[in-house]
Amino acid sequence: MKNKKEKQKNTFQKILEVIKTMASKPSGLIGLTILIFHVILAITSPLYVPYDYKAIDPSLMLNPPSSEFWFGTDSLGRDVFTRTILGGRTALTVTFFGSLIALLWGGSLGIFCGLVGGKIDDVVMRIIDAFLSIPWILAMLLIVSLLGTTTLVLIPALGFFYGKGIVRVARAATHDVIAKDFIVSARARGHSNISIIWNEILPNVRDAIMVEGAMRWSWMLLGFSSLSFLGFGVSPPTPDWGLMISNARGLMSFAYWAVLAPIVGLSSLIIGINLTADAFAKALGIDRSTKAPV
């Protein structure tokens, strides 16, 4: 029991050290600030948004920003501020859980293939290569056309397509580890593959996989917004940045506010995640160009 508490304490201290290291650099501090701001906004936004995001009022169509409507109104008379704030909640929810799925299945399969090798590794990696050769946007359009655009479809589908790259990174990191003496010793002691993965390999490849997962998060956010822009994301009237940009793109010449707000929201979140992921990699000593320890 005491050892377990000490282990938890050491883990907590390590997390604090990583965060402190990330915040010690200007880019890391900016990235963390932007990301935390968006997360807090997404969690608390339903408590204070001024209007109903789906309330339509033709008499308020395309009102410019004012004290009543801070970001103006869209072509249906809906409050752009309300929909922009809640749109971040949708984007973060879908892409966070999608990235978590990608990290779990991609990391697990990559570690397993790197450890067992042989024909199993060859077959699995050829399947992964086959899926990587398929344009993800076309595959996603097919999936949502057949199964719908609910979050229960979008989250696992995005998690699958963005997890394929994590498989390759986890496999390469595992190959760098399995030749080490402690892996040979574990095998000589008769440890099972599960035991070797959990106790020997995972602690040594975890950082590289987590950094890759963090980068995939920003790519998934852009991919999800692209789907919404094409009309294959979440269904209206659910507020979503990509859908808002798509609906207002023809109004830029005379109602710029309707498209500017979601663009700023999307771009700032992507910048925040990228800066945070880059600082996270540096704090862990991971070179993102090679996915190996610096």
What are the pLDDT digits (tens) for 234-262?
888 889 999 999 988 888 888 888 999 99
pLDDT of the residue at 104: 94
- Going by their DSSP bridges, the two strands 286-287 and 292-293 should be labelled as antiparallel
Cα–Cα distance, 258 to 271 (Å, whole number)? 21
Instruction: Please report how many Cα atoms fall inside a 13 Å half-sphere around the Cα of residue 271, on the Cβ side.
Output: 12
CATH number of the domain encompassing residue 273: 1.10.3720.10
Cα–Cα distance, 111 to 175 (Å, whole number)? 9
Judge contact between 21 and 255, C-beta under 8 A.
no
pLDDT of the residue at 3: 57
Judged by average pLDDT, the poorest of 145-149, 190-194, 284-288 is 284-288
The boundaries of the domain holding residue 241 are 2-293
Instruction: Please report how many Cα atoms fall inside a 13 Å half-sphere around the Cα of residue 23, on the Cβ side.
Output: 11
Report the amino acid identity of residue 112.
F
The closest of 19, 33, 14 to 279, measured between CA atoms, is 19
Residue 41 has pLDDT above 60, yes or no: yes
pLDDT of the residue at 294: 33
More confident residue, 164 or 191: 164
Which residues, in sequence order, are CB contacts of 9 under 8 Å at separation 6+? none
Rg (C-alpha) for the chain, rounded Å, is: 22
Cα–Cα distance, 158 to 194 (Å, whole number)? 27
| Tens digit of each residue's pLDDT (9 = 90 or more) over 81-97 | 999 999 988 899 999 99
The domain tally of the chain equals 1
Phi-psi region of 285 (alpha: psi -120 to 50; beta: other; left: phi over 0): left
Average pLDDT of the segment spanning 41-56 = 88
Mean of per-residue pLDDT scores for the chain = 86
